[in-house]
Structure 1
Amino acid sequence: MGGSVIRATGLSCVLLAAIGSQASASVCVVPKYRTLANQTVQGNMFVVSGKRCSVVSLITAGPTFGPRVLQQPAHGRISIEGQRVVYVSRPGYVGEDSFVFAHDGLDTLNKPRTNTTEMHVQVSEHL
């Protein structure tokens, strides 16, 4: 990764960040990004093959319900653990993968909103 910066632009409704397996930064990196109400944004995840990497909501602009998976990855699996979306690649897989998930909720005026993320995953032997 060597100092590269990944950005998403727009007004935020939910700020997301990664929490790696057992709080180990050496197996998972997800640069912070902002989601947009009722739109799909792209996120990036860098993870060691076969290791857990999760994305969790940190700040909301209203009530947020648990996440739901809209598209499973081709080379791994997704699980939902509370507010976390957890990705694990097949052991030994190295390459690109992706999945899509959404958080439903209400904005500050109690109007329904859906924040959708298309997560691009780079799986490698080490970070």
Structure 2
Amino acid sequence: MALGVAGCGGDSQGAAKPLAATATSAAPTPSVQAALGLVDDQESTDAGKAIEVKVLGNDSVTLKDGRTGNVETALTAGQFTVSVDAAPAHGTAAVNGTTITYTSSPGYGGDDEFTYRVDVAGQSLTGTAVVRITLAKPTPTPTPKPAKPAVSYANCDAVRAAGVDPIHEGEPGYGPHLDRDGDGVGCESWSGGSGGSTGGSTGGGGGSTYYDNCAAVRAAGAAPIHAGEPGYGRHLDRDGDGVGCE
């Protein structure tokens, strides 16, 4: 039985001919899948203080032509947009080009968040990420205590009428004009005195004579009054020469 070899040829003398080369097709190049890689952000600030968030700082993009990199470097202005997709619950978020400025509501302290969105023109790309913000609570302003009204007494009659006699140095309303003997106690009662003005010394009962002022001394006919005389006191002797109401 005769066998034939396919693909082999020969001339009449039986010489073999070379096989014809066959072309092979190249494998198809896989297409690049465009994608956005948006990463959430975390920020902190004081309550009521605005903060600018650079939301694209950690975001990447892969384009259909195979280029990849940070969104702001791989794309030019106008090829993408940034917008607020979900507003914060306790403040405002305003887009400024490629950044977003967050401002909390007055007096709010705690956590807040908003969602931003990136759209790439001509690439059918869109994506979102969340910005979480921690706000330090405001320090309450202490309410100042109202200042106590200034107290002043014109004389010991006013002190006694207010029921604060004797009045001591350091107490509200104390003044040297109320403390004639300079002992730190003003408008004190004289030992055994009745608190009133009399015209002279008491009798043998051991009482004392006291004059509130020189008017009482003169009314009693005891002016001028000398040191050692009944009723004399330093509050009646302004110049301290031992003679009062002269």
Distance, in Å, in 2 between the alignment partners of 1:101 and 1:53 is 15
In the alignment, which of 62, 82, 99 is matched to residue 84 of structure 1?
99
Which has the larger share of helix? Answer: 2
**Alpha carbons 2:110, 2:137 under 8 Å: kept:** no
CA RMSD of aligned residues (A): 2.6
CA-CA distance at 1:74 after TM superposition: 0.6
Distance, in Å, in 1 between the alignment partners of 2:39 and 2:53 is 14
AA of the residue aligned to 1:82: G
Percent of residue pairs identical: 26
Larger Rg: 2
AA of the residue aligned to 2:117: A
Is structure 2 residue 108 aligned with structure 1 residue 116? no
SS of equivalent residue, structure 1 residue 44: strand
Distance, in Å, in 2 between the alignment partners of 1:114 and 1:55 is 20
Distance, in Å, in 2 between the alignment partners of 1:78 and 1:55 is 10
Tell which has more relative contact order, 1 or 2 (C-alpha 8 A, sep 6+): 1
AA of the residue aligned to 1:81: N
AA of the residue aligned to 1:44: Q
TM-score for both structures, normalised by structure 2: 0.32
SS of equivalent residue, structure 1 residue 41: coil
The number of residue pairs the alignment matches comes to: 88
**Alpha carbons 2:48, 2:106 under 8 Å: kept:** yes
Distance, in Å, in 1 between the alignment partners of 2:125 and 2:46 is 33
Structure 1: where are the runs of 5+ without partners?
Answer: 1-35
Is structure 2 residue 75 aligned with structure 1 residue 62? yes
Structure 2: where are the runs of 5+ without partners?
Answer: 1-34, 58-69, 139-246
AA of the residue aligned to 1:76: G
In structure 2, relative to structure 1, the CA distance for the partners of 1:72 and 1:83 (3 Å cut) is: same
Structure 2 residue aligned with 1:49: 47
CA-CA distance at 1:40 after TM superposition: 5.5
